[in-house]
């Protein structure tokens, strides 16, 4: 393990912040050594969990996954920051019980193509893993189940979304207090107790993962107070949200097109073309295209961003028409 002053400098932790954490360096050295020795057993449990629950991911809405066992050095940094930020909760964490406090020593990240794919994976987890609120963690020490054969959800699933994001997909499945509004972070988190250890499962779209990786590499956790970095990562996050909206829109277009083609095949009277023309006229009257600012023609970053947002609004106009078309068919 590297020296104390080197670690604090490497992870941008001041001496004052370390003092607030109120934990002896010798205790952290012991935890580092202990977890380093146990790391292979954690990797084995991760492999066993994957084999038992994540062999057929494509059938359950998942595009791909990434896994990791926490690095021992990052574990030490997390303990310092957790005790600094929430001393009341973590004040009793020590070398003998740290594994009962930290629920992400094993991490699995599941990527989905479209927001709607989350529902399928959530249903799969609910079917395969016990989810009983009586086992949810409140007190990390008192609520730790010593039964290593008991696999269950240790927390209520948590949905992290940005203010203004659509909530409907989650509200139909989870209670309101499971949905957490964040400034920019988007992800769905599960904590599973498996073979005596906690596993954190995160579910996010591929676009959200791209933003998250950039944000984590540049901003978190060492430059969270830098206003310039915060502005740029917030802007990138907005574009990520727009990309996910567009992806969901494309998926909806495909579904409607397939539905339309199927209807054409079954129409016997040959008047389908005129029906489509009449239908499009009705949609245009119900959903007029709004006037927008003209596109900028220079190559500055501001111009590029405005143009992307402009084109996103154009697509939103089309989406309104498609939704109107869907609702109209439903009512017929």
From first to last of its 332 residues, the chain has per-residue pLDDT tens of 999 999 999 998 999 999 999 999 999 999 999 999 999 999 999 999 999 999 888 888 899 999 999 999 999 999 999 999 888 899 999 999 999 999 999 999 999 988 888 999 999 999 999 999 999 999 999 999 999 999 999 999 999 887 777 788 888 889 888 888 766 678 899 999 999 999 999 999 887 777 666 766 665 555 556 666 666 666 666 777 666 677 777 777 777 777 777 776 666 555 555 555 555 565 555 555 555 555 555 555 555 555 655 555 555 555 555 555 545 544 44
The C-alpha angle with vertex 203 and arms to 196 and 65, in degrees rounded to 5, equals 80
pLDDT at 79: 96
pLDDT at 166: 74
CB atoms within 10 A of CB 170: 21
pLDDT at 172: 87
Specify the pTM: 0.73
- Residue 270, class by beta-carbon neighbours within 10 Å (0-12 exposed, 13-18 middle, 19+ buried)? exposed
pLDDT at 57: 86
CA–CA gap between residue 159 and residue 107 (Å, rounded): 17
Whole-angstrom CA distances from 5 to 16, 83, 139, 226 are 12, 18, 33, 23
Cβ(116)–Cβ(139) under 8 Å? no
Ramachandran category for residue 151: left, alpha or beta (phi over 0 → left; psi -120 to 50 → alpha): beta
15-24 burial code (b ≥16 CB/10 A, e <16): eeebeebebe
Beta strands in the chain (DSSP E): 64-69, 106-112, 152-153, 158-162, 179-182, 187-194, 197-205
Cβ(188)–Cβ(157) under 8 Å? yes
**Helix or strand (DSSP H, E) at 126:** helix 117-128
Chain centroid to CA 291: 34
CA–CA gap between residue 329 and residue 331 (Å, rounded): 5
The strand pair at 179-182 and 106-112 is best described as unpaired
CA–CA gap between residue 1 and residue 30 (Å, rounded): 10
CA–CA gap between residue 154 and residue 198 (Å, rounded): 8
């Amino acid at each position: 393990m590297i020296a104390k002053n080197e670690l604090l400098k490497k992870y941008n932790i001041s001496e004052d912040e370390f003092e607030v954490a109120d934990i002896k360096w010798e205790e952290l050295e012991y935890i580092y050594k202990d977890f380093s020795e146990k790391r292979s057993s954690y990797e084995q449990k991760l492999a066993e969990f994957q084999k038992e629950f994540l062999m057929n991911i494509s059938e359950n809405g998942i595009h791909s996954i990434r896994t990791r066992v926490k690095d021992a050095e990052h574990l030490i940094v997390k303990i310092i920051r957790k005790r600094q930020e929430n001393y009341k909760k973590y004040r009793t964490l020590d070398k003998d019980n740290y594994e009962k406090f930290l629920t992400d020593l094993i991490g699995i990240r599941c990527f989905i193509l479209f927001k709607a794919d989350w529902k399928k994976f959530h249903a799969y987890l609910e079917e395969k893993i016990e989810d009983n609120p009586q086992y949810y963690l409140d007190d990390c020490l008192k609520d730790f189940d010593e039964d290593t054969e008991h696999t269950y959800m240790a927390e209520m699933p948590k949905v992290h979304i940005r203010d203004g994001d659509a909530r409907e997909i989650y509200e139909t499945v989870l209670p309101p207090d499971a949905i957490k509004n964040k400034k920019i972070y988007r992800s769905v988190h599960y904590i599973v107790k498996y073979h005596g250890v906690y596993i954190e499962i995160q579910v996010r779209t591929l676009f959200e993962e791209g933003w998250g990786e950039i944000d984590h590499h540049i901003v978190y956790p060492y430059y969270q107070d830098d206003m310039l970095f915060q502005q740029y990562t917030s802007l990138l996050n907005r574009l990520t949200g727009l990309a996910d909206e567009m992806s969901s829109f494309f998926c909806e277009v495909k579904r409607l097109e397939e539905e339309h083609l199927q209807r054409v095949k079954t129409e016997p009277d040959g008047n389908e073309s005129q029906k489509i023309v009449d239908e499009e006229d009705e949609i245009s009257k119900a959903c007029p295209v709004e006037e927008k600012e003209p596109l900028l023609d220079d190559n500055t970053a501001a111009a590029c961003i405005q143009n992307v947002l402009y084109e996103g609004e154009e697509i939103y106009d089309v989406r309104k028409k498609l939704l109107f078309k869907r609702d109209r068919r439903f009512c017929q």
